[in-house]
Amino acid sequence: MFHSPGKYQSNPDLSVTDDRVVNVSQRKRKQPESEMMDAFQLLSSEIRGWRLDMDSKISTICDSISVIKQDLDTLRTTSMEIKSEINSLRTNQVATNDKVRILENKQQDTSKLITELQSSIEFNSAEHNDLKTKVSKLGSTSMPEQVTNTVAMLEHKIESMEQHARDCNLEISNLPEKRGENLLKYLEKIGSVINFTIQQRDVLSIHRVPHANSQTTQPKNIIVKLASRLLRDNILSAYRLAKGVKTDVLDIPGPMHTIYFNEHLTLKNKQLFRLCRDAAKLHKYKYVWIKHATILVRETDTSPSIAIKTEKDIAKIRSKTNVYYVILYNRYFCIVMLFVMFKLLV
């Protein structure tokens, strides 16, 4: 069946297109709904941008408000601290005022006290001058005999007590000093020499003591504190029976010296003992020794011993020749006096 060409003809070859038709299809008009959608989308986009901008600004404002709030809190805290400090300063000021008031009162009291002390010092000064005058008057006069006797008695008692405290002591002199010396070993060896055993348990202490005269070159004396006075006396008796001990028995190098054993005397008794030896040497006395802290002298083997307790007793040490002359002088003086009285009576 054949169709007649119509009003409109088409090319059955699809690959061939009509430029005019193509152009018409490309210029198709937009529908009104599409334009409104585009406008709406554009408006939505702008609104979205405004919103983001507003959110950003609001966030910034919120941050600023938060910072302002923190600053306000800090300011509030600082103001509270300042207020507390002001209150503390006020309190301190009140306390300072009270202290100043107290100090003023104390100053007034101190001024009064100083005035009273000044008056008291002036009074004491006057009393002191008066007392000084009285002491000067007393010093110019001799001390009453009763006071002198009392002082002498007290000095004697103190000396006796000091000597009694040394009753168990033994004094060793003229023993040469040696570095690192063992004094106890020396004492034990001396005991074997004098045939008297000295045990360690009997020795309470042993040590050297300095001399009263620091210029002397003699070795320091040795003080031995023994367990009893009887032991001390027995050692001294054994030493006297042995008639002395020399340093050679102790294996001490150097020149040989004689070692002396004595009772431990007080300084006053030592001085008295030295004076007794000098007097005995002057008057040819044969023996001077110490027994129980008492100084004894004897002129010969058969003469009686004399006890020396004070310096006044040293006058007892005199030779028989002097005594004879004294007795003869006294007799002659008595005869002369009798003759003079007889002449006066006649």
**DSSP codes joined into one string, 100-118:** HHHHHHHHHHHHHHHHHHH
Query: At residue 81, does pLDDT exceed 70?
Result: yes
Task: Say whether 287 sits in a helix, a strand or coil.
Answer: strand
Radius of gyration of the chain (CA): 65
110-130 burial code (b ≥16 CB/10 A, e <16): eeeeeeeeeeeeeeeeeeeee
Spatial distance between the Cα atoms of 44 and 130, rounded to a whole number of angstroms: 124
Spatial distance between the Cα atoms of 276 and 239, rounded to a whole number of angstroms: 22
Residue predicted with more confidence, 149 or 29 = 149
Structure tokens at 56: 């950003």
Task: Provide the edge-to-edge strand list for the sheet that holds 306-308.
Answer: 287-291, 294-298, 306-308
Question: How many Å is the maximal CA-CA distance in the chain?
Answer: 238
Spatial distance between the Cα atoms of 88 and 94, rounded to a whole number of angstroms: 10
Phi, psi of 261 (to 5 degrees): -115, 130
Mean pLDDT over residues 281-298, rounded?
87
Reported as a pLDDT band with limits 50, 70 and 90, residue 67 is: confident
Helix axes 145-164, 267-282, angle to 10 degrees: 100
Which of 262, 212, 202, 273 is CA-nearest to residue 237? 262
- Enter the DSSP assignment of 298: E
Residues in CB range of 272: below 8 A, 6 or more apart? 295, 308, 310, 311, 314
Residue matched to tokens 């042993």: 206
Spatial distance between the Cα atoms of 204 and 161, rounded to a whole number of angstroms: 20
pLDDT tens profile 159-203: 888 888 898 999 999 999 888 889 999 999 999 999 999 998 999
Weakest-pLDDT range from 43-52, 196-205, 290-299? 43-52
